[in-house]
Chain A
Amino acid sequence: MVAAQGGQITHELSVISAVAAELTLAQVADLRADDRIRRIYDNGTVETAAARAATPT
């Protein structure tokens, strides 16, 4: 489905039955309208849970 829209699959994420893909906003809109697709998420960032407290901890 991603390929049919002209998108580029970058990773297979089989653990959650998903793929990661590079898509234009228009492609995202088309895919969202496809009821075979449950959800689409933006990629996000995580941070290492390291603190820099004002006082030494």
Chain B
Amino acid sequence: MIRAIDWVVANRRKLRIRVLNLSFSAEARSHYWDDPISQAVMVAWQKEIFVVAAAGNRGPDAMTIGVPGNVPYVMTVGAMTDSFTPADPSDDKLATFSSAGPTYEGFVKPEIVAPGGHMRGLVQGNSALADAYPEFYDGQYFEMSGTSQATAVVSGIAALALQAEPWRSVDELKCKILSAAKPAVKADGTLAYSVFQQGAGVADAYAAVMNQTVDCANQGLHIDNDIDGFQHFGGPANQDEYGNYYVMGLDGYLWTDSGVGTEGYLWTDAYLWTNAYLWTDGVGVDGYLWTDALTEMASMASWVDPE
């Protein structure tokens, strides 16, 4: 996998590679900055390649985001489904398998969700996928569910947005896409799913391309220093004394154990994110810097309270 990313980075100019879709996941075994795949992914982002990563399919429990979806810089994607009724959004819901944040370093992930249920695509009969999952292959089309599939949807949106505005930086593009998303809300206006499950909500391709909000992503992070090992970052998520996860400085974003309901919810733009909502304010009001001085054990234990 690292060789593949290496190849993409090395050939980015020659082939004008702007988007890298990573529809895979592995269990996180270290901090994001210590993981070799994550390091390669960070270099890709540093070189202005927009990396879209699968959240993983270990949901719906909290803290199930895999590598490289736990890398704070990249766009991490969870899955929702139309419940087989594409014309009826009222039964759309989060996919139960979709991995949820926060990450061990306290970042809110996934950033966004996209259709990832029973997705169909052309696949050759001699491909590894068709071989491994013949039950999902009809000889021409392959149909499968997963955050892999949702990830590819967002990669497509990124390509569309770059086609319209090729000068956008990866951080600007991330902001455009996530701030155009539509969160799922209940009738009373509260979030239908925790921010750690749905992120900013379901991706909206048209709104993302048209969106001119560009300064909301990866604020306060410093990727050069992160790669070089001078600084590492923690996000605004925290855990309270009862084990609930929340975003520091905000009320009402609690992770609830009710998990993923069976009812559908409307994905709407009616939800008012407060100004304090820090997508990615790694070192904002409530974020903090990791320092190299922390030992591995201390840093793992202290991700909840180093304010």
**Interface of A with B (CB < 8 Å)?**
11, 13-16, 18, 20, 39, 41, 44-53, 56-57
Contact = CB atoms under 8 A, between A and B. Distances in A.
Interface of B: 1-3, 5-6, 9-10, 23-26, 29, 34, 36-37, 39-40, 43-44, 54-57, 66-67, 79, 81, 84, 95-97, 116-118, 129, 133, 144-149, 151
A14 B6 contact: yes
21 contacts: A15-B10, A15-B39, A15-B44, A16-B39, A16-B43, A18-B2, A46-B1, A46-B24, A46-B37, A49-B54, A49-B147, A50-B57, A50-B145, A50-B146, A51-B57, A51-B79, A51-B97, A51-B144, A53-B97, A56-B145, A57-B79
A12 B223 CA distance: 23
A11 B67 CA distance: 21
A8 B179 CA distance: 48
A50 B43 contact: no
Contacts of A14: 6, 10
A49 B25 contact: yes
A41 B6 contact: no
Contacts of A20: 2-3
B153 to A, nearest CB: 13
A5 B1 CA distance: 26
B185 to A, nearest CB: 21
What DSSP secondary structure best describes chain B's contact surface? Answer: mixed
A50 B96 contact: no
Contacts of B116: 51, 57
A48 B24 contact: yes
A13 to B, nearest CB: 5
Contacts of A48: 23-24, 129, 146, 148
A57 B26 contact: no
Contacts of B26: 44-47
A51 to B, nearest CB: 4
A41 B118 contact: no
Contacts of B55: 49
A56 to B, nearest CB: 7
A51 B6 contact: no
A5 to B, nearest CB: 20
A17 to B, nearest CB: 9
Contact of B24 (A18, A49, A52): A49
A53 B143 CA distance: 13
A49 B3 CA distance: 19
Contacts of B40: 13, 15-16
B3 A56 contact: no
Contact of B5 (A11, A15, A45, A49): A15
